[in-house]
Structures are given as structure tokens and as C-alpha cells.
Structure 1
């Protein structure tokens, strides 16, 4: 299969490319940086470099400025929106001008779609929430679904908080514990719908092949935890002082809107459609995931 990947050099994409190559796919990567082609991977800096008669069997759309990259100023909010919507619109335009459109577009989204929902169990049938993240995800998904009119199967991959030892949220959340300080954010009762990066990669590969799946798909571990439960699980692996909270007002003072939308808000999101389709998680529970991430089974 010939697969186009946008955002292929980011946190998810850099791990996804080896998996796709291992599965025998030929890959084109859209990246703003300069990279040498090789190993079955071609790099382009604009989708205009892809000819109308090129073969593109599938697209995985990961491009977008990080939601937790910095404080959400007005300018950075515009960057987050434009980086997603502009790239997705360009992908749809590519699908439109290709002589044969791709059969599938797997477009990243996020569980921010659901907003702050406390301990309410959420699956793909749950309604949209409120806030900037929810509106961003709604618009991002809407832009991707424009490809459906071209006969493209569109999967909307609503990603949870991705854990991996090489970076991302886990590195930040676990840092105090590595220095012997156990803590949780705010009340600690808000749910964290996490997922191991290895399962994200496996899920994207799975969705490429599952011709009967389209629309929203939650990519989260089947056992979400509260921040207090994550703290307790980390303390089982690392020696720390007793747990203490980081008050919400401190987080708001440091990070502003990011604190309320990403750290103090909670979603108890369940991967109902993946499990119904027979997908098997390598790390379904937080204890097994932490064992791998910390090297402490």
C-alpha cells in the first residue's frame, strides 16, 4: 500500500513510520523540514509535489501544533487551529485532484472533543463538550469528513493522552516522582484517559485495514485512571514521599487556559469501537504500561 503521512516526523509519526515500513507499505511524508529520501520513504514539503496521477492508497493525517506546547495566547490558538485545518483541507484537495482518490483517510483528533465530563463514561456516541479543545476537534473532524464526498473512508482517531518513555505527557507527569516527590494535579479525582504510544501505532495500522470502520474511533486504553490512581500506581514502581496535590490555582497561574482544559479537566473515555472490532491492546491497564515505561515490571 502507498501511504501518505502528514506530521510524520512528530511524536506519533516518528514511531508510526517504522511500523508502516515493517508492514510493507511505501510511504510519502509531508514535512516542513528537509529530509533525505531512503528506506522506502519519500519526503515532500508541500502536497503540490504529488502528481495528479500518483498512487496514494491511504492517508494518515497527524499534522498540527501541539496543544500543550506552550501557553494558549491568541496567536498560538490561531496557530493550533490553522495548522490542523489548513493541512487537512490540503489533504482533502489532494484527494479531490488525484486520478484515483485514496481508499481511506485516518485523521487524528483528540478526546478534547468531549470536554470536561467528570466521571461520565464516554464512547464514540457521546456528545461534544464545551471549550476551545472541543470546538477545535469538531472543526478538525469536519474538515477531514469533506473527503467522504469523494468516496474516501474517513476514520477520526480521537487520541487520549499518549504515554511513552521517549517524551510526551508521561515525561512531564512522572518527573516529580523520579525525584522522590509524589503528586497529583488539582483534586486528583479527574479522569485521565491515557494510552501507550505502542497501542496508538497499532491502532492506526489496524484502522488502515479495517474496511468496515469509519467515523469517530477513541484511541484510549480501556482502563482510564484518575490522577490520584496514577499517583498510587507510580508510587508502586518508584520510591517517593507521601503524595501531595498541586493546587488548581497554581496550575492556572502557571499555564492559564491550558490548565483548565488539559490538566484539571477530566474525561473517562472508553475505546468501544476498537474493542468491538477485535483490537487487542498491548497495555490495557496502567500497571503494565508503567512497568514498560519505567523498566520496572
Structure 2
């Protein structure tokens, strides 16, 4: 993509911060949507719950906004926050895109591999149906909320992201200190698959999807070979030189985490078929290099 003006919602999150750094480093103009009073010339206020946004003239919109899935216990109220923060924000932006003149060329909207639910040992790609449960239902609504933009002729992409490996946030931001302290553990029996991706490859994939005018629809953004929790735990211990010898029993996790335990103990063996077919090359396809990259870029 030549020098472009790109609006980013969720620019303060883990992926959003990294994406903004990457885009601005290459000379693109980034406008960040914020829910408070703007404090800088590159900020525009929006109110996703009220459905209000004054979308500036731009070439592309990237929506990464949403309450953190693992930030708090899944009370009924917080589950509603997880859903509403994604669905209402997407709907607000999609409607603004549909009514914009001129319209942006592309809408890249966040989603997650939670779309597929628990796949067990079965590998799935973008052709697989949605699973059952809370996270799949959220992802279905999340992606469907982008429909006004697609119907208006805006190229629309859903980025189904896996577990992002980074030191500064997300699930791995909590794992690194535990393993450094020698407290890394296998979760449950460790046979559940984790579909992970390096932060570098996550940003590179989003930029790839922004650039390619022939790509639309859902794309899994996960490393090519998902691994079991047991394998990932061993890799963390190997790279950090803190072998993990403990295990957190499934009943204990269910007691401590409540509804969230199903996400931790569930298995998601997700493959990035469409991304690979489009010619995208992962810089860090293996888990050891992915963990080292996170440590080096921390």
C-alpha cells in the first residue's frame, strides 16, 4: 500500500500499539479512535456504545477494539462487556464506512480463533463452521456486525487471531514472569492444542491483508503448526531455561477460573490456510523462535 491514511480503533491494545508503530515507521498517517477527549492531533473521539463516530476521510479502517478476554473473571456482567465492546464497536464503524463519501477501500476487523470453539484433535481452517459456547457466539456476532460495510462494497476482512506471543501483554505477558520464576505449569493434561502467533507475524499479516485488494472474508492468523499445551510448556521451559515440572489440575482451574476455564482447557487446532495460500510468509513459524522473538522485542 502506498502512503495511506489509516484509522485504527483499539490502538492502545497490544496488537494496536505494534500496528501503529509499524505503519507510522513506514510513513503512513494513522488516526487513532479514542473514547476520551482527544489529546493529540492524530486522535478522534468515538462512542461505540452510542453508535457515534465522525469517521475522517481515510483509505482504510482497522478495528482491534474490545475488552480483554482474560483480564477479569467471566461474571455475567463482564461477559456482556466482552460481547458489547466488540459487536457495538464493529457495528458503529461498519455503518460509518457504509455511509462515508468517499468510502475507505478496506475494513480489517478483529476476530479470534475462538470462533471455532473446542476442536479437540481435529485441525480446522476457515471453511470450518462456528463452534458452540460463549466465545464462538461472540465471534459470530462480531464478524456479522461488519456486514453493512461489506454490503456497501467496502472490502471487508475478518482477522481470526490466535494467542499472541508477546512479553508486554495478552496471555503470554502473564506466562513469561511465571516461567522466569520457575512456576510455569502444564494446564490440565496438556493435550489441548494452542494456536499461537508471534506479535511480529500478527502485525505483518494485518498489513498484508490491508495491502492486498484481492483478499476478503475470514483469515486465520496463527502459526502454521499449532502445538499442544504440553509442547508449548516444554518450549517455554527450554528457551527460558526454567523447565516446567508442575501441572495445574483441570478441577482446580475450573474452580479458580469459572467459565473461563473452558477457554484455557479447550483445544483449538487452527490452521492459517487462506493466509498461506495468499503468499504470506511467517517470519517465526516455530514456537522456539517465536518465544525468542518475544523476548528480544520486549
Q: Which interval holds the TM-score relative to the shorter structure? A: over 0.9
- Counterpart in 1 of 2:10? 7
In structure 2, runs of 5+ residues without a counterpart are none
- Counterpart in 1 of 2:139? 137
CA distance in structure 2 between the aligned counterparts of 1:229 and 1:14, rounded to whole angstroms: 29
CA deviation profile, 1:159-197 (whole Å, cap 9, x unmatched): 000111112111222333211234210110000001111
The answer to whether the 8 Å contact 2:53/2:93 transfers is no
Q: Secondary structure at the match of 1:218?
A: strand
The answer to whether the 8 Å contact 2:53/2:92 transfers is no
In the alignment of these two chains, the number of paired residues is 291
Asked if residue 17 in structure 1 is aligned to residue 20 in structure 2, the reply is yes
CA deviation profile, 1:36-70 (whole Å, cap 9, x unmatched): 325xx33334485636xx42211101111111111
Structure 1 segment 67-216 matched on structure 2, within 5 A: 67-216=69-218
CA RMSD of aligned residues (A): 1.8
CA deviation profile, 1:75-130 (whole Å, cap 9, x unmatched): 11111111111111110121132112111100000000000011111111111111
- Counterpart in 1 of 2:280? 279
CA distance in structure 1 between the aligned counterparts of 2:128 and 2:46, rounded to whole angstroms: 37
- Counterpart in 2 of 1:243? 245
CA distance in structure 2 between the aligned counterparts of 1:96 and 1:111, rounded to whole angstroms: 27
Relative to structure 1, the CA distance from residue 208 to residue 190 in structure 2 (aligned partners, 3 Å threshold; closer, same or farther) is same
In structure 1, runs of 5+ residues without a counterpart are none
TM-score (structure 2 length as normaliser): 0.92
Instruction: After the TM superposition, list the runs of 4 or more consecutive aligned residues in structure 1 that deviate by more than 4 angstroms.
Output: 46-49
TM-score (structure 1 length as normaliser): 0.92
CA distance in structure 2 between the aligned counterparts of 1:42 and 1:7, rounded to whole angstroms: 12
CA distance in structure 1 between the aligned counterparts of 2:176 and 2:254, rounded to whole angstroms: 20
The answer to whether the 8 Å contact 1:112/1:134 transfers is yes
CA distance in structure 2 between the aligned counterparts of 1:211 and 1:240, rounded to whole angstroms: 45
- Following TM superposition, by how much is the alpha carbon of 1:233 offset from its aligned partner in structure 2, in angstroms? 1.0
